[in-house]
Structure 1
């Protein structure tokens, strides 16, 4: 029983600290796509997180296409979604930085930081009925490594889609 209480407490701490937001109950069904794959997720403890996750996946897919215009417009959508979550102001600012840059390398560098914040937010959200993968590329960020989220187990690297699209590995599964 003590172990279960500790797990519940730990999950609650993650939910509250992700984007420095307070957890709110929600039971909305959401759909996310990743390279044509659709999965239904249920948000059980954090309002608006499913929308943020879906938009994040769309942003990652634009990075896979190296589409600067698509990256900018999707980042603007993500900024608006993040602005609706209490405590996610800094993460929304990162999305905004992507929208104002025309340099895809600078956008990818900001995406590295943004991904860390979104991973923390999603881990605290407790999506149901969907596996979310935390992927890692050791070559990203000048060899320091970088993470991103995916709904597919197959690696599609948003940091090096032209030359090393399959560079990386699944580091963790959420759910």
Structure 2
């Protein structure tokens, strides 16, 4: 009888441990899914300018759709800096989607299409530089407050140079995958 009692007690404890583990696992899982929902970005709202990126220093433009395009550009620039070819392709496609909603962006759309179609990282970087120059020209007179900077690194793209836009005067070169971040200089201020 004593052995049977100990067996039942042991079995009950194992069942209790399993149930506790299941409850803990469900709690952690639920917490993760809630956090994931909070981090999820609604791209429709981003494109309409209703949702702002975490960086409060992003300049305001005279059109909310331009703000959405600039935010897409920043995501593309980050992908280029990470030397992530697939992510750069995805971000270029997202940028192209935001540009289609703007009037007068035919040249930008062609440049973004070329960037999205690039087959290797080096050609993406060259196309990114070309797009950045075109985008800088398009943004002139469209910044509502603050200013943008067109920067250039003479060593990028096999020493033919590379351009990028920034809303910060500090040089953060996207062309060398996190190396040589301060290589370059401001070539133009865009207001």
Larger-gyration structure (1/2)? 2
Query: Once superposed, which parts of structure 1, at least 4 consecutive aligned residues long, lie more than 6 Å away?
Result: none
Distance between the aligned counterparts of 2:58 and 2:127, measured in 1? 28
Instruction: Confirm or deny: 8 A CA contact 1:29 1:43 kept in the other structure.
Output: no
Give the equivalent residue in structure 2 for 1:82. 99
Deviations 1:58-78 (A, max 9, x none): 111111111112111110110
Q: 1:70 aligns with which of 68, 72, 87?
A: 87
Instruction: Confirm or deny: 8 A CA contact 1:136 1:147 kept in the other structure.
Output: yes
In structure 2, do the counterparts of structure 1 residues 31 and 134 end up closer, same or farther at CA, with 3 Å as the change threshold?
farther
Give 1:88 deviation, angstroms.
1.4
Distance between the aligned counterparts of 2:133 and 2:183, measured in 1? 18
Give the equivalent residue in structure 2 for 1:38. 56
Give the equivalent residue in structure 2 for 1:173. 189
Distance between the aligned counterparts of 2:143 and 2:178, measured in 1? 33
Deviations 1:102-129 (A, max 9, x none): 400011111111111111122231231x
Q: 1:115 aligns with which of 112, 132, 157?
A: 132
Paired residues, number: 143
Q: 1:156 aligns with which of 166, 169, 172?
A: 172
Give the equivalent residue in structure 2 for 1:12. none
- SS state of the match for residue 98, structure 2? helix
Instruction: Confirm or deny: 8 A CA contact 1:30 1:41 kept in the other structure.
Output: no
Q: Tell me the C-alpha RMSD between the 2 structures.
A: 2.3
Give 1:143 deviation, angstroms.
2.9
Distance between the aligned counterparts of 2:154 and 2:80, measured in 1? 18
The answer to whether 1:52 aligns with 2:84 is no
In structure 2, do the counterparts of structure 1 residues 104 and 163 end up closer, same or farther at CA, with 3 Å as the change threshold?
same
Tell me the TM-score normalised to structure 1 length. 0.70
Segments of structure 2 that go 5 or more residues without pairing to the other structure are 1-48
Q: 2:109 aligns with which of 77, 92, 97?
A: 92
Give 1:47 deviation, angstroms.
5.7
